[in-house]
Every structure is written in C-alpha cells, then in structure tokens.
Chain A
C-alpha cells in the first residue's frame, strides 16, 4: 500500500469542498461542508468567483448602455431581467409604452420562462442521475430559442427590450410558430409527467426531503418557486401587477409540502400557466407601433428613488434606482432572487445526507452569474 492512510476516529469530522468547479453546483459556487461521515454538520456557501460588478457598471454608464448587462445576469431567463430594468427606467423617466409592445414583452418573457424551467428540469433530473430527460427538455427548449432568435437575433443574451418599446417587431411567422408550439409543449409536459414525475426512484429521492418551512423562506427572503413550494402564495405578477399581467387569466401554483418534490411540481405547473398566458397574449395581440411617438433623446430621470420588481423564472427580481438627474444612475441596486434562495441552503442542509443536500440544491434552481453579479 502506498500513500498516506487517513484514519478517521469515531466522532471526528472532516471538511469537504464542493466546487468551485463541480457539476452539481451548476457554476462556480463553492460549498464548504463539515461532514460527519455522510452527514452534513455545517455548510457554508462561498461566493465571489465570477463577480463582474454589474451594479457599478450600471452607475458608470449612461442608461441605454447598461441594457446588455442585464441579459448577462441570468443566461437562462434573460428576458425577465431586462423587463425589470426597462420597467424601472420607464417608471423613473415617465415614458409611456405602446400596448402592442407591452403584449409582445409579456409573450417573450413567458416563452423565456418556459425555456428556463425546461432547462432546469433537464439539469435537475440529471443531478439525480437520469440523463435522457435532459435531451427531451433541450429539444423542446430549442423550438423556443429558434423562435426567439428569429425575432431578436440572439439565442441567450437577447437585449431585445428598449426604453419605451422594443428593438424590432414580431412578424406573422413568429405568431404562427408560437401557436404551433403551445399544443406541442402541452404534449411534452404530459410525456415528462409520465417519464419523470411518476418514476418511483425520482419520487423516493425527493419526497419529504429537503424541508424548507415557510418561516425560513420569509426569514431569508426567498421568493419564486422556492417560496411557493413552501406554501407562500406570492407572485409579483398577481400581488403587485405590472405591465399587462392584470389582463391575463392565470393561476399561481402553490404547494404546501415544503419538500423538494413540491418545488419541482410548482415549476412544472408554472410552465402550463405560462403557456396559458402566451395563448391569451397571442389572441389579444393588438396592432400598432412598438415604440412611443414621443421619447426623450437622452434619458435623464428626475431626481428620486425608484423601485420596480418583476417575477422572473427564479423569483422576484427588483431594481432600485436612485437618480440624481444626470445621464448616469447614482445607485443601481439589483435584488436578485437566487441570491436569497441560495442562502437557505446553509441552514436547511444541516443534518442532511450529502446526496439529499445536493438534490435539494438542484431544486433551488441556482444560476451562479446571477448570484455573483
């Protein structure tokens, strides 16, 4: 026998480093775990490996120049974040948005939400050891990306919304493609339910595992599917309506089991609700311009403090903008949902087995560039 032999005494603990480069953390997140055998005694998430100072960039650049940054926060659901940004600046500068632009924005955000949840679904099942569903999920997501690419010209970092409207208009091809996509996606959702949700191994890995109580979600400020899986009925689209969301008829799925399975079910139901919103949006899509007639050439919001929250695929995303009346923001604070959701992990995984803890981490839907912005 060669090499040192590690002899661990009973009751002795050791430290395990998960990441920064580890497939289960979905990015450069490092988790320092103090372990007793396979049980976690204490965990500590370490951030800062891909910090890019987006907030400071937002303060140094003129308002339109920050637009591409917001897509880089979250590469899976970029539309939602840009939506929050443009809404915040429009509220601050008092720009009115034409109705057609509002409807197209809602359709795009919902399509992007479905794409984001699909990718999460594939990656989550892959975390648990099932590879095939990822391929099906990516195939469905590809249809959405093709549609979005034909309109915006880009596949992930769209940079499609502008202050007051949109970059360019959608055509009939897009409307037809979106209409054809909805029944196909509904069929796929049934397929996923049969293939994954009903699977006994999958259910045994998730049911009653990774409990996050509603109280804990409130304490850490968790939002989105994580909070809704713990029985908190909060969705920014319903509770603080923005854009044209009051016009749509949709439900907010809430589950009270508080386990990883509940968070999975919330996201699967949310996809169905997003399809309903897209369907209604396509029916109601009005004609008209996509940019307002009167738009200030140089965007200079009056002095003040503004806040705008939107519901992205991962939860409530907020922008706090403090303007001092110049062409740059004085303070540009981004409140990103995954940052709050991730900090649940430290407390929740105490006493759990490591494989269960990693399954729970998957159910939180972490996107690291958005935590480390």
Chain B
C-alpha cells in the first residue's frame, strides 16, 4: 500500500520537475533563424561547389594539368583543352612552342561529394570552394556547371 502511494507521489513529482524545466526554457531567447527571411553567413572554410580563380588579367589561373580531374573520386570534373603553337624569341632565334589552353571546365555537381581532393591536388591554387549553399532545382541539368562561363559572368 505504501509503495503504491509513494509511486503516485514520485510520478507527480517527476512531472512537476519536467514541467518546471520546460517552463524555464519558455523564457529563453530564440535560437533559430527564420530561414528564407534571414540567412546565416557561411564560415570561411565552408565547402560549397568549386569555382575557378582568376589571375591579374582576368583569365583563369588553371593551366589544364588535369590533376583535379584525375584525383576526383567520382569523376565529376571534365576539362577540355586545345593545344596552341606560338613563337618566342630565345637568344635571338625564333622558336615555336606548344601550350595547352583551357577551353572548358565542366563540373557535374550531382555526383560531387565535396571532399576537396581536387583543391588539394591543384598545385597552382586555381580552384577554390564557393560559399554557395542555396542550390535547388527540379532539373539535374541545372547542376552541370560550366565554371569557365561562371568566371566570365562574375567578371562582367
């Protein structure tokens, strides 16, 4: 009989303790952000999709060495290049030299796992993470980024 009443008392007590904690929380400041109206600033190291970096002339720093494409675990980077021949004067003589030029840098973001292998593999500091996180679409083609065009759009 005594155990029965002490159980009822304990039950009511634990209920009161729980309610007092929730009641105190009621007056604490709001910790959430009403998202579409207010957004948080992304931290400096945030890993979004990759972007090309430009040099002083507004051209991409990329030299098309293909290290990022080779290092990518998901194979989501595809680079196209063309070879250009040009002439330089070395010790008074004209010599023809070949140079690889970047013509396209496509990122298939649907398969990217944001691991950062491409950026670590890049010896020239030509790519970086963007701070873009508001990416949403109903078509997967919207996530096939042409990074060269994006760079041009940023410059213009």
> A167: which B residues are within 8 A, CB to CB?
116
The CA of A67 and the CA of B114, in the complex, are separated in Å by 11
Q: Which of A64, A66, A139, A149 contacts B43 (CB 8 A)?
A: A149
Could you tell me the distance between the alpha carbons of A90 and B153 in the complex, rounded to whole angstroms?
44
Pick from B7, B22, B45: contact of A150, CB under 8 Å: B45
State in angstroms the CA–CA spacing of A69 and B114 once bound together: 11
Once the chains bind, are B46 and A149 in contact (CB under 8 Å)?
Answer: yes
Neighbour of B14 across the interface among A67, A150, A198, CB < 8 A = A198
Q: Mark A125-164, 1 if CB is under 8 A from B, else 0.
A: 0000000100010010010000001111110010100000
| Interface residue? A53 (CB, 8 A) | no
Residue-wise interface mask of B (75-116) relative to A, using a CB-CB cutoff of 8 A (1 in contact, 0 not): 000000000000000000000000000000000000001111
- Can you list, as one digit per residue, whether each of B5-42 has a CB less than 8 Å from chain A (1) or not (0)? 00100110011011001100100000100000000000
Query: Is B125 on the interface with A (CB-CB < 8 A)?
Result: no
A327–B31 CA distance with the chains assembled, in angstroms: 48
Main SS at interface, chain A: helix
Across the two chains, which residue of chain A brings its CB closest to B8?
Answer: A200
User: A279 to nearest B CB, angstroms?
Assistant: 24
In Å, the complex CA distance between A191 and B17 comes to 10
- Closest residue of B by beta carbon distance from A65: B73
When the two chains form the complex, which single residue of A65, A168, A194, A199 contacts B117, counting CB atoms closer than 8 Å? A65
Q: Is A195 in contact with B45, judged by CB distance below 8 angstroms?
A: no
**CB-based nearest A residue for B7:** A200
Q: A61, B14: Cβ atoms under 8 Å?
A: no
Cα–Cα, bound, A153→B116 (Å): 10
For the complex, what is the distance from the CA of A191 to the CA of B116, rounded to whole Å? 39
Q: Which residues of A contact B73 (CB under 8 A)?
A: 61, 65-69
| Interface check B47, CB cutoff 8 A | yes
How close is A70's CB to chain B, nearest CB, in angstroms?
10
Across-interface contacts of A154 in B (CB, < 8 A): 46-47, 114
Q: Is A153 within 8 A of B22, CB to CB?
A: no
Q: Any chain A CB within 8 A of the CB of B60?
A: no
Assuming A153-B129, A159-B116, is B47 touching A195 (CB within 8 A)? no
* B113 & A200 in contact (Cβ 8 Å cutoff): no
Number of A-B pairs whose CB atoms are under 8 Å? 66
* Docked-complex contact A195 and B21, CB < 8 angstroms: yes
Total interface residues on B, CB under 8 Å, equals: 25
A195 to B46, CA, bound (A): 36
Determine whether the beta carbon of B114 is less than 8 Å from that of A157: yes
CB distance from B55 to the nearest CB of A (A): 24
The B-contacting residues of A in range 63-93, CB under 8 angstroms, are 64-69, 72
In the assembled complex, the CB of A299 is this many whole angstroms from the nearest CB of chain B, namely 13
CB pair A199 B18 closer than 8 Å: yes
Contact A139 B31 (CB under 8 A): yes
Contact call B45/A153, Cβ cutoff below 8 A:
yes
Which residues on A sit within 8 Å (CB–CB) of B21?
191, 194-195
Q: Please give me the residue from chain B that is nearest to A203 by CB atom.
A: B14
CB pair B45–A159 under 8 Å, yes or no, is: no
Residues 116-150 of B, flagged 1 when their CB comes within 8 A of A and 0 if not, give: 11000000000001000000000000000000000
> What is the CA–CA distance of A150 and B44 in the complex, to the nearest angstrom?
7
Contact between B43 and A153, CB atoms less than 8 A apart: yes
Are A195 and B115 within 8 A (Cβ)? Answer: no
Residue of A nearest to B20 (CB): A194
- Chain A residues near B10: list those with CB within 8 A: 200
CB–CB A157/B113 < 8 A: yes
Decide if A200 touches B114 in the complex (CB within 8 Å): no
Task: Tell me which residues across on chain B come within 8 A of A195, comparing CB atoms.
Answer: 17-18, 21-22
Rounded to whole angstroms, the CA-CA distance of A195 and B109 in the bound complex is 44
Chain B contacts of A149 at CB under 8 A? 43, 45-46
Query: Do A159 and B17 touch across chains, with their CB atoms under 8 A apart?
Result: no
For residues 151 through 194 of chain A, which have their beta carbon under 8 Å from a beta carbon of chain B? 151-154, 157, 159, 167-168, 191, 194
Which residues of the partner chain B approach A132 to less than 8 Å between Cβ atoms? 22
From residue A209, how far is it (CB to closest CB) to chain B in Å? Answer: 17
Closest B residue to A139 using CB positions = B31
With A68-B115, A153-B43, A159-B115 already in contact, 16 other A-B pairs whose C-beta atoms are closer than 8 Å: A64-B71, A65-B72, A67-B73, A142-B31, A149-B46, A150-B44, A150-B45, A154-B47, A154-B114, A157-B114, A159-B113, A191-B21, A195-B18, A199-B14, A199-B18, A200-B7
8 A-B pairs closest in CB distance: A68-B115, A65-B73, A153-B45, A200-B11, A153-B47, A68-B113, A159-B115, A150-B43
Can you name 6 A-B pairs with beta carbons within 8 Å?
A65-B117, A68-B73, A132-B22, A139-B31, A149-B45, A194-B18
